């Protein structure tokens, strides 16, 4: 059984503002029945352009209903500018927190709010140019990027908890991993101090131990650092990696990308015979 806070249960059992606003100023529907949750949000403004009334209709679990209820309570009385700043964490915090696996309910609330405001402003949907990454749940790269940025996510599992992306067949896990690396690389300061070889070796060993080996070992593989020559990182693969046909893909796309991210963007991985 999920451990819901009292506040979540209270909002689930006595949801506020259920229904649809008559003649709404803004309205949006996000999610889908295939995905297991959906939210229709509508609001009306007063003469001072503050949100006078906000209502929801939700198909979903207790935390989806509680998140929708919390959202409508949060935004009442806000200007649209203020409402735009409401984040998914604000919704979760209002409820005293949500289980990690249910954070996507708060993200759904935030999305509905943004779309409803865009609907009022007559703005074109911001998602133009966005690519679907997760086919199972129809999640785009934009949505994933934003969830990573706003919630400081670092693993595929976390991205799944917040956006559902990757929670179905699992075919998009590599794509999500690449988005995480890309977004986190952007967040890093561009200029880095020049590293000595000793520093590099130390940082590479640490990155291998902390970030890389656990994933490889999960599949029965391992990696060993042989030498560092300038920016060339010479490694040998062990265990399942040593006989795996896809190991150079792993080295390029996973190990090298991680080391570039964590140590230095100029590093080049090279495999040597053990």
Q: Is 172 a catalytic residue?
A: no
Report residue 69 CA to chain centroid gap. Answer: 23
DSSP assigned state of 31 = E
DSSP assigned state of 100 = G
Q: Would you give the binding string for other proteins spanning residues 96-135, x where CB under 8 A is met?
A: -----xx---------------------------------
Residue 16 contacts other proteins per CB under 8 A: no
Query: Residue 4 or 94: which CB sits closer to other proteins?
Result: 4
Residue 94 contacts other proteins per CB under 8 A: no
Q: Is 134 a catalytic residue?
A: no
Query: Residue 39 or 257: which CB sits closer to other proteins?
Result: 39
Per CB under 8 A, which region of 143-151, 161-169, 174-182, 226-234 contacts other proteins?
A: 161-169
Whether the Cβ atoms of residue 111 and residue 30 lie closer than 8 Å to each other: yes
Other Cβ atoms closer than 10 A to 20: 12
Residue 136 contacts other proteins per CB under 8 A: yes
Any idea which residue has 């990155």 for tokens?
207
> Could you tell me how many residues make up the chain?
274
The helix (run of H) or strand (run of E) holding residue 267 is: none
Total residues at interface with other proteins (CB under 8 A): 33
Residue 15 contacts other proteins per CB under 8 A: yes
From candidates 64, 144, 172, 180, binder to other proteins by CB under 8 A: 64
Tell me how far CA of residue 175 lies from CA of 133, 170, 178, 193, 251, in angstroms.
7, 10, 5, 30, 16
Residue 18 contacts other proteins per CB under 8 A: yes
Active site residues: 35, 105
């Amino acid at each position: 059984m999920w451990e819901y806070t009292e506040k979540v249960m209270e909002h689930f059992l006595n949801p506020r503002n259920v229904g649809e606003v008559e003649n709404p100023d803004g309205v949006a529907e996000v999610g889908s029945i295939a995905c297991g949750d959906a939210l229709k949000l509508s609001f009306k403004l007063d003469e001072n352009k503050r949100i006078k009334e906000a209502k929801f209709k939700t198909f979903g679990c207790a935390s989806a209903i509680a998140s929708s209820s919390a959202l409508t309570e949060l935004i009442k009385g806000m200007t649209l500018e203020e409402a735009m700043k409401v984040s998914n964490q604000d919704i979760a915090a209002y409820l005293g927190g949500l289980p990690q696996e249910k954070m996507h309910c708060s993200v759904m609330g935030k999305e509905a709010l943004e779309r409803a405001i865009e609907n009022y402003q007559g703005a074109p949907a911001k998602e133009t140019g966005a690519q679907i990454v997760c086919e199972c749940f129809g999640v785009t790269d934009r949505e994933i990027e934003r969830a990573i940025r706003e919630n400081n996510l670092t693993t595929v599992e976390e991205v799944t908890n917040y956006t559902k992306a990757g929670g179905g067949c699992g075919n998009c896990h590599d794509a999500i991993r690449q988005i995480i690396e890309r977004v986190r690389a952007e967040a890093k300061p561009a200029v880095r101090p020049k590293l000595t070889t000793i520093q590099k070796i130390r940082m590479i060993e640490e990155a291998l131990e902390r970030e890389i080996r656990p994933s490889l070992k999960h599949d029965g593989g391992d990696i060993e650092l042989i030498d560092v020559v300038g920016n060339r990182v010479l490694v040998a693969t062990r265990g399942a990696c040593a006989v795996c046909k896809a190991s150079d893909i792993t080295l390029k796309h996973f190990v090298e990308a991680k080391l570039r991210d964590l140590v230095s963007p100029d590093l080049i991985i090279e495999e040597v015979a053990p």
